[in-house]
Amino acid sequence: MDCRIEKSLGRFLKAFGLLVPGVWLISGCHLQRAPGLAYGTDPYSTSETRTIDGIDLEAISETPPLPIQEAVEQNRFDSIENATMEIRRPITLEEVRSAALSNNLDLRVERMSPEIARETYNAEAAKFDQLLAASIDRSEVDSPTGLKTSSVLSSVGLFKPMPSGGEMGVEFFSQRYNTNDPFVSPDPAYDNDLKFSISQPLLRGAGFQTNTHSIRVAKLQSGIEAARAKLEAIRILAAADKAYWAVYGASMEIEIRRQQYELAIRQLHDAKRYVASTKGATVEITRAESGLPGRLEGIINAVTNFRIRERNLKRIMNRPSLDWNSRESILPLTEPNPVGLSFDGRSLADFAVENRMEMLALEIQLAIDESQIEFDQNARLPLFTMDYEYNVNGLGRHYGDANYQIGDGDYADWSIGFQAEVPIGFRASNARLRQSILTRVQRLATQDQRRQAIEQEVYDALDLLDQNWQRILAARQEVVLAARTYEAERKLFQMGAEGRTSTDVLDAAARLALAQLREISALVDYQIAQVDIAFATGTLLGYSEVDWRSE
């Protein structure tokens, strides 16, 4: 049986020796025929990265190019159909927050960072996992002296890295050999060995703290990634609130611009009635008509501004039903609720410093720096390693006989050895230790700098909140007075007061529009200031215990 196995293994190894060169030659020919495929197919062509394509906008236009003179002839200022939105979908602020929390792509990206860091930690924590190793070797010797030997050596071992820095192992070796040497007995023979080994550094690289340093750093890095991801999640969700109020402000601007256009139309009708009833100069009609183009331009600009801000909100919400390029636009339903608020700036700043994720990330990084200093201090020690081996030997004509002899333990040998390495001068290790200490000192200064920046951010947000509240009060009074002025100017014109023209009425209407726009701007900025205060303190406005990592 053993002879048949030996012959079969010998034929296999000879065939394998002939097969490997053949495979190598075939592979070489294949690579020579297709050098571009040696490391996989490139996902791009060289021309794509070397040339810049041109574009002809007139050629890809859906309508024929229209000269400006013809466009002016076709345009009528008494129609605003092209500057309005056909379909409006009502959206509340709560719906925006819910959609951003569920669908936002940036938030999905941030959700992955802690998971990636956690897997990095899991990979590092596996450094003390056991290792199973096995090998088999076949050799034949045919000497010119006529001596022939053949052997098959196999081994299997289990190794365990230890947190102390060493390694324990147990290995089993089995060698079967035969020879035509008459002085060798037994022949054939089995030489089996059971070996126990341990290798342990005693200075550099020794100790639980030193050898778990990389695991500890990976664990702390996972915490840093979680803190940074949470900070970005807060930033993204706060941006959703800001985007909603930006859309609300743009929507209200459209309404104000349309109101101004309607007032200009009404003034044109008043001017026509005035000229018809008093046989006055027709220049009044021209003056009234001159107010229409500017107001139509205001509507066009307001609608464009709305669409740009709306597109940003749609991107944040990422709802499949809200297509970016659809004619369906958003109708904000949640109105601002301005109320006078007063805060203790010092208490709010202290809370922000304690709650902000940047401070937590710095605290974790300082813990990493401390562990790195301890690791570098250990690296300054000389390398002094102890190696110990204990072998139990067995020899017999049959495999079982050799194993029985191992079980008896009659034949055993052992060895112990020590190795030492001492760098002359320790320049590299000393430099790394100083670098770690300086990095920690720099991090402590960064912590103080970040604390000041957070406190400044809180105080700035509080000042902006108070400023915008005062702006709301001032703008509200300005709107009331501007509306009264407009009505007075219009009545004077209708009564035919001396010196009153359509220009005066249109100017009063324009001042009313500016006052209304300032009021809307103050309201929107006030709502955004509240969002900024929440962000500055590491919280979210309008949310409660948000689990941002759940989908």
Encoded tokens for 15: 């065939």
CB contact at 8 A, 199 and 165: no
Residue 173 has pLDDT above 60, yes or no: yes
Q: What is the CATH number of the domain that holds 115?
A: 1.20.1600.10
Task: Report if residue 344 sits inside a domain.
Answer: yes
- Considering the domain architecture, whether residues 191 and 103 belong to the same structural domain is answered as no
Task: Report if residue 315 sits inside a domain.
Answer: yes
- Considering the domain architecture, whether residues 263 and 401 belong to the same structural domain is answered as no
Residue 478 has pLDDT above 70, yes or no: yes
CA-based nearest residue to 314, from 90, 96, 524, 87 = 96
**What's the pTM?**
0.75
Predicted confidence (pLDDT) per residue in 397-408, tens digit: 888 878 888 887
- Considering the domain architecture, whether residues 464 and 341 belong to the same structural domain is answered as yes
CA-based nearest residue to 252, from 313, 331, 320 = 331
Residue 410 domain boundaries? 128-208+386-426
Task: Report if residue 422 sits inside a domain.
Answer: yes
**How much of the chain, in percent, has pLDDT values that exceed 90?**
34
Q: Structurally, how many domains does the chain consist of?
A: 2
Encoded tokens for 248: 């609300």
Task: Report if residue 187 sits inside a domain.
Answer: yes
Q: How many Å apart are CA 530 and CA 349, to the nearest integer?
A: 15
Highest mean pLDDT out of 7-11, 117-121, 224-228, 463-467: 463-467
Mean pLDDT of 248-275: 88
- Considering the domain architecture, whether residues 499 and 405 belong to the same structural domain is answered as no
- Count the Cβ atoms, other than its own, within 10 Å of residue 301: 14
Question: Which pLDDT does position 42 carry in this prediction?
Answer: 63
- Considering the domain architecture, whether residues 114 and 255 belong to the same structural domain is answered as yes
Predicted confidence (pLDDT) per residue in 63-75, tens digit: 788 787 776 666 6
Task: Report if residue 325 sits inside a domain.
Answer: yes
Question: Which pLDDT does position 147 carry in this prediction?
Answer: 76
- Considering the domain architecture, whether residues 231 and 333 belong to the same structural domain is answered as yes
Encoded tokens for 256: 């104000």
- Considering the domain architecture, whether residues 237 and 92 belong to the same structural domain is answered as yes
- Considering the domain architecture, whether residues 396 and 525 belong to the same structural domain is answered as no
Task: Report if residue 458 sits inside a domain.
Answer: yes
Predicted confidence (pLDDT) per residue in 121-172, tens digit: 999 899 899 999 999 998 887 778 767 788 888 999 999 999 999 999 999 9
Q: How many Å apart are CA 227 and CA 359, to the nearest integer?
A: 9
Task: Report if residue 28 sits inside a domain.
Answer: no
Task: Report if residue 421 sits inside a domain.
Answer: yes
Mean pLDDT of 261-270: 86
- Considering the domain architecture, whether residues 135 and 111 belong to the same structural domain is answered as no
Residue 181 has pLDDT above 70, yes or no: no
- Considering the domain architecture, whether residues 464 and 525 belong to the same structural domain is answered as yes
Question: Which pLDDT does position 324 carry in this prediction?
Answer: 74
What phi, psi does 524 have (nearest 5°)?
A: -65, -45
**Residue, of 15 and 273, whose pLDDT is higher:** 273
- Considering the domain architecture, whether residues 108 and 154 belong to the same structural domain is answered as no
CB contact at 8 A, 194 and 170: yes
- Considering the domain architecture, whether residues 199 and 220 belong to the same structural domain is answered as no
